[in-house]
Every structure is written in structure tokens, then in C-alpha cells.
Amino acid sequence: MKKFLGLVMCAVMVMSLAGCGKTAGGTAQEGILVMATNAEFPPYEYHEGSTIVGIDAEIAAAIAEKMGCELQIEDIAFDSIIPEVSSGKADMGMAGMTVTEDRMQNVDFSDTYAIARQVVIVRADSGITSLDDLQGLVIGVQQGTTGDIYATDEFGDEYIERYAKGMEAVQALTQGKIDAVIIDNEPARVFITENEGLIILEEAYADEEYAIAVRKGNKELLDRINETLAELKADGTLDAIVAKYISAD
């Protein structure tokens, strides 16, 4: 009887792990959940030594654990995440990823797991006090982000300077090379604490929702992620992870 139960448990584990596998070039890697990210986006994903930590990293780890998988995080350029997921090289993309119509042409998105906003960082002595003041100024963005998309549409490509990392845009701002940076609120809060003389405008630039990207048509994985997110919300895990990195004030 014990031998039979052992075989049953083994079969259950195999079935659980089968949902974690990815197919890349026809080779299945069972039991591994691969997350593509850009670890330059604190507090959602960033490096502590050689380890990638942050809100998204912990949520992904919790999802992988509930699914019986081993999490593997791949740190790549932000604008490579959607292609990585849509090609099947990664199972999911998490990087403070906002749901947009353009992105939905290439991937499917999970239920929302965080509400965010785009804000504007300026030098405290710049005289810029509102969004209206940005007209005709040079604005820095992280390439491929919604800040890039929104700012290009509103102000025109000739006024946009694109950087591979949000921190690079902030550094250019401190050096006087650009006039403002449009970026998500939580990274913005981190950046202004690390760079004296910068402030965030009170008026938000845009509100948006974060979700997890999966390969288009991969309904089985999408359903499992949504079920797991619902469990993490219900048992308080999601709130606890966010509270660990973001203060209520």
C-alpha cells in the first residue's frame, strides 16, 4: 500500500511540474518557470549583489512555489521581454509591465496584481511645477516603457531621449542633459532619495495597471497564474510582499 501511495504522489508531482515546462526550439524543460525581467526597476526588480530581488521577484517566486516549480529569472533589456515571452524562450514576463493594446497584440496578460502611476522627476531648481511646463523640453524615458510611449505621443519624438535603464535617464537629468524624466512612481521615489536635488511633480502623469505577460494562446499557464494570483491576494501574501518594499506613507 505504501508503495502504491508513493507512486501516486510521484504521479501527482509530475503532473504538477508538467505545467511549468517551457518549449524553446522543441526542447521542454519540465519543472522550471522562466521569468523574463529587466532588473533595473526598484522596488519591483533590482539587484542585491548577484541576486534579483523585489516585488515582482517575490510574487514570481510565490507563484512558482504554489505551482510546484523552480523559478528561473532572466535579466534582459526591457524592450526584449515581450519578444522573449512571445517566442517561448520565457514562460512569463514581469517587470512592472503595463497592459497596453500594442502589447496585447503579441502576448496575453494575467489579471492585474498592482496599480501604478507614471510621474515626472525634475531638478528642484528647474522652475518646472506642472505637466504644462514640459512642452518644448527634453524628456528622458526608459526605452520601450509606457513612459516612452506616452511621452512620444504627447510631446513628439524630437523631444524624447531614450535610455536603456531608468537610472541612466535620472543621471542625465542630474547632469543637466535633459529637463525631466517620466517613469513609474515607485522607482521614482527610490531615485530621488539616491540623488539629491531632484523632486517628483505632485500631478501624476498617468495611472496604469501591472500584469504578467504570457505567450499568446497559452491559456493553461495563464489560467494557472490567475488562479495562483487570486490565492495570493486572498491569503494576504500579495499585500505582505508589496508592504515589504513600499511604505504606506
Predicted model pTM: 0.78
Alpha carbon separation from 233 to 84, 91, 186, 230 (Å, rounded): 27, 22, 20, 5
Mind listing the domains of the chain with CATH numbers?
15-113+211-245 (3.40.190.10), 116-208 (3.40.190.10)
The residue with cell 542625465 is 172
What pLDDT, on a 0 to 100 scale, did the predictor assign at position 100? 92
User: Are 191 and 84 spatial neighbours (Cβ–Cβ below 8 Å)?
Assistant: no
For residues 7 and 85, give the distance between their C-alpha atoms in angstroms, rounded to a whole number. 34
pLDDT reported for residue 247? 74
pLDDT averaged over consecutive 10-residue blocks of the chain (249 residues)? 34 41 42 95 94 97 94 96 96 95 96 94 97 97 94 96 96 98 94 96 94 96 97 96 82
Q: Got the DSSP string for 25-72? A: TTEEETTEEEEEE-S-BTTTBEEETTEEESHHHHHHHHHHHHTT-EEE
Position 29 scores a pLDDT of 55
Q: How many CA atoms lie within 13 A of 119 on its CB side?
A: 21
| CB distance 22 to 93 below 8 Å | no
Predicted confidence at residue 246, as pLDDT, reads 86
pLDDT of residue 20: 64
Within a 10 A sphere around the Cβ of 207, how many other Cβ atoms?
10
Residues 136/180, Cβ–Cβ less than 8 Å: no
